[in-house]
Amino acid sequence: MTDTYNETFSTGAASHEPFAPTQRQTIARLTGLAAGLGALLVLTMVGIIAANGVGPNDFESLIRFGTPAVFAEQIAIHLSMLRTIYPFDTIYVLAYVTMTFGMIVYRGQITPFGVLAIIAVLATAFLDFVENNHIIAMGIAASNGIAPSATEITVQTVITQTKFNAGLLLTFVISILLDVDSWLALATRWLARLLIPGAVVAMLAPSTTLLYISANIILFALMAVIFLRRSVAR
């Protein structure tokens, strides 16, 4: 039975010799806390969006509001909501960057997938920051009577979709980097992979995008449980 179990969870195993057990536990704790913080932040942002009936995802394209004039009117109305939510999103970016680097360091060695994860997470984080600041800039301009042009909104859409694609790559690579040492880790790996085709549906409308974002809460929560368990394992 033991041999079968070890064989089942042999994929994704990594060499951890460079770290003492206490060091690995510290890394696991930091990774787990970052993942847990990420889950709480996404939950908070979803709550703010639900309470307002509109969210940043509505200002990433013309899908919901149709024309630049209506877009400008709505982004000016909801500028305070954007200013409320973006500090949470900024900390969320720091959380998922920390979680990703923690997973890489926890494995004890840099692999090609580790390098790919670094590229993907930094690209996603950079585009996330650009996206947030550009939407805020359009909101401030609109509140002062300067409506964003169709070109500006299209640029925003390109930024968002590129970030979205980089995030999908990151999700897939994370599913590879996750050491599968339990059934929970195995389920989490496959949940991450299932989110990728689910993202295709999420791109259809802002409402389905919000649903996709909500599904990530579960993924981050599971990652938190996995790594916090590892932080106390003997």
The two three-digit tokens of residue 39, written as one number? 């889950």
Write out the residue range of the structural domain in which residue 164 sits. Answer: 19-232
Q: What is the residue-averaged pLDDT of the chain?
A: 88
Phi, psi dihedrals of residue 111, rounded to the nearest 5°: -110, 170
Q: What is the pLDDT of residue 205?
A: 62
Q: What is the pLDDT of residue 64?
A: 84
pTM of the model: 0.86
Is 46 part of a structural domain of the chain?
yes
Listed residue (161, 174, 139) closest to 38, CA to CA: 174
Is 12 part of a structural domain of the chain?
no
- Domain total for the chain? 1
Q: What is the pLDDT of residue 110?
A: 86
Q: Give every CB contact of residue 223 below 8 A, 6+ residues apart in sequence.
A: 31, 32, 35, 99, 178, 188
* CA–CA dist 218, 201 (Å, integer): 18
Is 11 part of a structural domain of the chain?
no
Model confidence pLDDT, tens digit, residues 16-43: 556 677 888 999 999 999 999 999 999 9
Is 14 part of a structural domain of the chain?
no
Q: What is the pLDDT of residue 113?
A: 94
Decide: 208 and 12 in contact? Cβ < 8 Å.
no
- How many CA atoms are closer than 13 Å to the CA of 86, on its beta-carbon side? 19
Q: What is the pLDDT of residue 109?
A: 84
* CA–CA dist 203, 209 (Å, integer): 6
Is 4 part of a structural domain of the chain?
no
Pick out the chain residues at pLDDT < 70.
1-19, 203-210, 234
The two three-digit tokens of residue 182, written as one number? 């339990």
Decide: 191 and 178 in contact? Cβ < 8 Å.
no
What per-residue string of b and e applies to 151-165 under the rule 16 or more CB within 10 Å gives b? ebbeebeebbeebbe
Q: What is the pLDDT of residue 1?
A: 43
Decide: 227 and 178 in contact? Cβ < 8 Å.
no
Is 2 part of a structural domain of the chain?
no
